[in-house]
Structure 1
């Protein structure tokens, strides 16, 4: 199957003689880098007959008129103004969708907000354990101060790292991999509800733990909920969102993670002076964001793509009616998504859970998505953000801050991380995912180097503390609109529907697994190399991550989830060769030599219908 030339429209719509000339595109080896619309070459009368057959097959007779008009718009998205079948009111609705891309039903935004609130659990827990690190080790008999004998201190550092890593170990080894079966049987909403229950109960269990072993167990169980939630919520948001603002809506996951980090630091300061139970309150308070998630998830419409995957087209249409402003938009999306999924199935087929996992690395189209998702996820750990999220209070104390000043500096880091996540909300769908990463990674490199070198300034010098804090804050300011929101947004987009759950599970397991490794090893790394050496090491990791992103991560902005099949059908060698031979020389001419006349030859070409849509967006200033 991997090497078979597949005529995508021809296989999905088998009556070839009725459809005229069809373009043959191999979704496993798209050498022409062409983005195709499977409806574009179908004659109008044949398309209308196909719509009638589709409606009859799925018992959608009552919406046939809407489906016919929706199919025509899907076939030629930029040409609806010339279609006599489309009423003036429907044309206004389609035009409004382009000129007012943020105007969508409240149900869509409520769905995104309720689901993304759950991300605050993850951020809150990170900062709760951050503050708790200053006191719980002593209560449980595993202190890590400099006055402890070296052998004992090294042993205790590993234990503290293990406790901090608990949620990420539980996520990487179990929670993420439950996403596929639970999504299959319970749907997106059911899987999210199960994750919310884990995230609600386990922080409370951690707060009443009496030994470090009990605390570790509660944190491992929390990881099941975090992994399941992290693997499902971004998919749910991506599948419900329109392509033009999908990045912004899915990145609300990161917004709420950053907000959770900020609230966690606020909680740390609020309970700082309550005595021996401070660390219990810091860890236990992370249950709060899970409450609205538990209560609100079933008020959200289920993913229409999940319904289509299950063959429940009526329910998919009902969901789309709640998520789109006009019935013609719902009919268009229903017919177009289903048509693209039919094409996708010719390449991917149907498989069981074990086969789907192995196919992440054996089917070329899926393997390229796995590589790109793995790259952006592991880069989030390589950049060093979580050493600060987990250990900023410890780092600042090692750099010479007293305990309260360390918590205040950590609070400042959390505030910067949240505030600077907002720019990505407006740039991720215009500037693009790839461009944000390529811009911010160099900035994170020099800011980490600056923080590390500032730690060499004698502590008696007032500049020591100020410069360390300033560079850490600058690092957060560049991380938040770049590598912060992109990985979960990007990974939720790139996999085909057939492998989306297991693919996202793999991507999140990569992120959380390496987060666990980082959490366990960083106390020892800090003890061995100090603040300067630790920051210098992660500055080097930023450079490596930048190179990987440059060669392996394609852009996904403004393409529907199904159109990304064609993006990831382009071989990695073709993509990397284009970056070296075309994109990099253009960038040098344009931004180093400041040659405004330099032009970039695009890698991808588009079917006429898709090209019309891009032209329409350009006319309205949306591209």
Structure 2
């Protein structure tokens, strides 16, 4: 009995200290009008497993907090049944506009120019979107996000899409075409570095994969819409429709709240609470998440360095490990052969070079992706990010060994269609966990620089690959180059990618606490032997998680389920 009394006293003393901390927090940030709500939310945050002890909770709040509604704790609902996803439909429409503009950017190039560049100007014009993204667009996100926030960056990108789409509908001389496509690439870089970050920072931790991965479906929807329009209307009309949609997003993005985590880092706690109130079903959940953001930010030191220089991506241990992991998994994507799959049927000399047939095949591919991508988005919060990505890379490497380079669809038609379909589907499935992983890996003070560097490296490597393509495409063993690149991507992801699924966003940097050398040694000495003994020798062996091994060093890593 005395032990129970002592435990009760300890709990009471701890709750008293929590309430004092909440009073100080509310006073410092002028949150007096929600002081009582914050106190209740803080008690819930510190003891979520014993909701019955918290005073003032009604049955509806207890049901939500305990996960009885099937959404908030366990995430057992489809993306379109989720409150947070429904609240972010405008952001997904912005992703659809991005997909429309991204796909239509290639309509400037005639079908016989995918693998040939008659002169330097035309080659640079072809790659201008990737060059603009790598050199300007990605890096503009750093000052824009810090000055005007995530919404301001999206507004700027949509403004550029309006201007470039109107220009694209006109007959321009070659230099003007180059400028138009370069500016379009700038808008791509802005959106690719901002939309995933906005989704990651806005979503609850248990729905982060689903909410962020859904922006890839929005982009895919935009591509399908453009392909459909290309079958019935001129290209100039498509550009005008893109500009109209982008104009609607420019107006609508200001009706969506700013990222609450961005506001917390700026010290705007009241605005952050209002933003969370928009994305959460009750004020109690909004207050709880606000308090958790504040506590985790102080615990992990997020608020210490808001103006982190670019060099810290390579000198700060956690940031450098996150940079290495992100770059090592995203750069090989440009060398996977996906973009070749979307265009090899357009080679000269094949009997599959009609525009209408190409459009119908592309439409069929993009429509087929919806089923697979929808399934992966559903699984994004249940399956490991690392496992999802690894399972998509190996089929791509195998497919490239049978890829019909230069065959067309007359010869080996079945193999050609199957190879292209598998490659395209696997690539886009892998984009879902990859976009989530890259956006969530960096600490918030390095997130803008980290995203800019990673996405710019991707676009730069793709532009370099495209420049080299005309000289390599008719090499007999050309396809094996992409197969080897996919194998290298698999090895890099296997050894360097760290699991982040089960961590809160502010706790993700803890996954990069252990040195990379320790992680590689763990893969070699523990994970590979376990896989061999468990799945090859069929032995009943126990898996040793990374954090429990001698290599872990106390880091919180690796989902072992």
Does TM-score exceed 0.5, indicating one fold?
yes
Q: Aligned partners of 1:160 and 1:416: how far apart in 2?
A: 33
Alignment match of 2:499 (pick from 550, 555, 559): 555
Q: Aligned partners of 1:415 and 1:56: how far apart in 2?
A: 54
Q: Aligned partners of 2:122 and 2:379: how far apart in 1?
A: 38
SS across alignment from 1:598: coil
SS across alignment from 1:208: coil
Q: Aligned partners of 2:527 and 2:31: how far apart in 1?
A: 47
Match of 1:536 in 2: 480
Task: Work out whether residues 345 and 353 of structure 2, in 8 Å CA contact, stay in contact via their aligned partners in 1.
Answer: no
**TM-score scaled by structure 2?**
0.87
Match of 1:382 in 2: 335
For residues 235 and 401 of structure 1, do their structure 2 counterparts lie closer, same or farther at Cα, with a shift above 3 Å needed? Answer: same
**TM-score scaled by structure 1?**
0.79
Alignment match of 1:488 (pick from 435, 442, 451): 435
1:123 aligns with 2:66: no
Aligned residues: 534
Match of 2:169 in 1: 207
State the Cα deviation string for residues 444-472 of structure 1 (Å, max 9, x = none): 1111222237x56xx7x955233212210
State the Cα deviation string for residues 309-343 of structure 1 (Å, max 9, x = none): 11111111111111111222111111111111112
For residues 280 and 237 of structure 1, do their structure 2 counterparts lie closer, same or farther at Cα, with a shift above 3 Å needed? Answer: same
User: What's the offset of the Cα at 1:591?
Assistant: 3.2
For residues 601 and 369 of structure 1, do their structure 2 counterparts lie closer, same or farther at Cα, with a shift above 3 Å needed? Answer: same
For residues 93 and 107 of structure 1, do their structure 2 counterparts lie closer, same or farther at Cα, with a shift above 3 Å needed? Answer: closer
For residues 81 and 227 of structure 1, do their structure 2 counterparts lie closer, same or farther at Cα, with a shift above 3 Å needed? Answer: same
Task: Work out whether residues 409 and 469 of structure 1, in 8 Å CA contact, stay in contact via their aligned partners in 2.
Answer: no
Q: Aligned partners of 1:327 and 1:105: how far apart in 2?
A: 20
Task: Work out whether residues 189 and 302 of structure 1, in 8 Å CA contact, stay in contact via their aligned partners in 2.
Answer: yes
Counterparts of 1:191-202 in structure 2 under 5 Å? 191-202=153-164
Q: Aligned partners of 1:106 and 1:598: how far apart in 2?
A: 39
Q: Aligned partners of 1:310 and 1:604: how far apart in 2?
A: 33
Alignment match of 2:529 (pick from 582, 585, 590): 585
1:359 aligns with 2:312: yes
Q: Aligned partners of 2:113 and 2:268: how far apart in 1?
A: 56
Match of 2:353 in 1: 402
For residues 578 and 72 of structure 1, do their structure 2 counterparts lie closer, same or farther at Cα, with a shift above 3 Å needed? Answer: farther
Q: Aligned partners of 1:81 and 1:99: how far apart in 2?
A: 20
1:420 aligns with 2:399: no
For residues 131 and 599 of structure 1, do their structure 2 counterparts lie closer, same or farther at Cα, with a shift above 3 Å needed? Answer: farther
For residues 106 and 564 of structure 1, do their structure 2 counterparts lie closer, same or farther at Cα, with a shift above 3 Å needed? Answer: closer
User: What's the offset of the Cα at 1:250?
Assistant: 0.5
Counterparts of 1:221-232 in structure 2 under 5 Å? 221-232=183-194
Task: Work out whether residues 121 and 286 of structure 1, in 8 Å CA contact, stay in contact via their aligned partners in 2.
Answer: yes
Match of 1:350 in 2: 305
Counterparts of 1:174-193 in structure 2 under 5 Å? 174-193=136-155
Task: Work out whether residues 451 and 469 of structure 1, in 8 Å CA contact, stay in contact via their aligned partners in 2.
Answer: no
User: What's the offset of the Cα at 1:543?
Assistant: 0.4
For residues 61 and 285 of structure 1, do their structure 2 counterparts lie closer, same or farther at Cα, with a shift above 3 Å needed? Answer: closer
Match of 2:551 in 1: none
SS across alignment from 2:381: coil
For residues 60 and 335 of structure 1, do their structure 2 counterparts lie closer, same or farther at Cα, with a shift above 3 Å needed? Answer: same
Alignment root-mean-square deviation, CA: 2.9
Match of 1:134 in 2: 110
Task: Work out whether residues 551 and 576 of structure 1, in 8 Å CA contact, stay in contact via their aligned partners in 2.
Answer: yes
SS across alignment from 2:546: coil
Task: Work out whether residues 121 and 288 of structure 1, in 8 Å CA contact, stay in contact via their aligned partners in 2.
Answer: no
SS across alignment from 1:544: helix
Task: Work out whether residues 334 and 462 of structure 2, in 8 Å CA contact, stay in contact via their aligned partners in 1.
Answer: yes
Q: Aligned partners of 1:481 and 1:144: how far apart in 2?
A: 28
- Greater alpha carbon shift after TM alignment, 117-126 vs 61-70: 117-126
User: What's the offset of the Cα at 1:102?
Assistant: 4.1
For residues 267 and 518 of structure 1, do their structure 2 counterparts lie closer, same or farther at Cα, with a shift above 3 Å needed? Answer: farther
Counterparts of 1:300-311 in structure 2 under 5 Å? 300-311=256-267
State the Cα deviation string for residues 542-573 of structure 1 (Å, max 9, x = none): 00011110111111113211111211222212
Counterparts of 1:115-514 in structure 2 under 5 Å? 115-134=91-110, 144=113, 155-156=118-119, 159-271=121-233, 278=234, 280=236, 286-287=242-243, 289-345=245-301, 349-350=304-305, 352=307, 355-389=308-342, 391-395=343-347, 399-403=350-354, 404-452=356-404, 462-482=410-430, 484-514=431-461
1:601 aligns with 2:544: yes
Q: Aligned partners of 1:417 and 1:185: how far apart in 2?
A: 37
Alignment match of 1:567 (pick from 492, 508, 511): 511
For residues 159 and 370 of structure 1, do their structure 2 counterparts lie closer, same or farther at Cα, with a shift above 3 Å needed? Answer: same
State the Cα deviation string for residues 395-442 of structure 1 (Å, max 9, x = none): 5x5554131433333333333334422121111111121111111111
Task: Work out whether residues 396 and 427 of structure 2, in 8 Å CA contact, stay in contact via their aligned partners in 1.
Answer: yes
In structure 2, stretches of 5+ residues that fail to align are 1-10, 549-559
Alignment match of 1:70 (pick from 24, 41, 45): 41
Match of 1:112 in 2: 88
User: What's the offset of the Cα at 1:525?
Assistant: 2.8
Q: Aligned partners of 2:102 and 2:150: how far apart in 1?
A: 25
Task: Work out whether residues 374 and 507 of structure 1, in 8 Å CA contact, stay in contact via their aligned partners in 2.
Answer: yes
For residues 547 and 291 of structure 1, do their structure 2 counterparts lie closer, same or farther at Cα, with a shift above 3 Å needed? Answer: same
Q: Aligned partners of 1:162 and 1:543: how far apart in 2?
A: 30
User: What's the offset of the Cα at 1:126?
Assistant: 4.2
SS across alignment from 1:98: coil
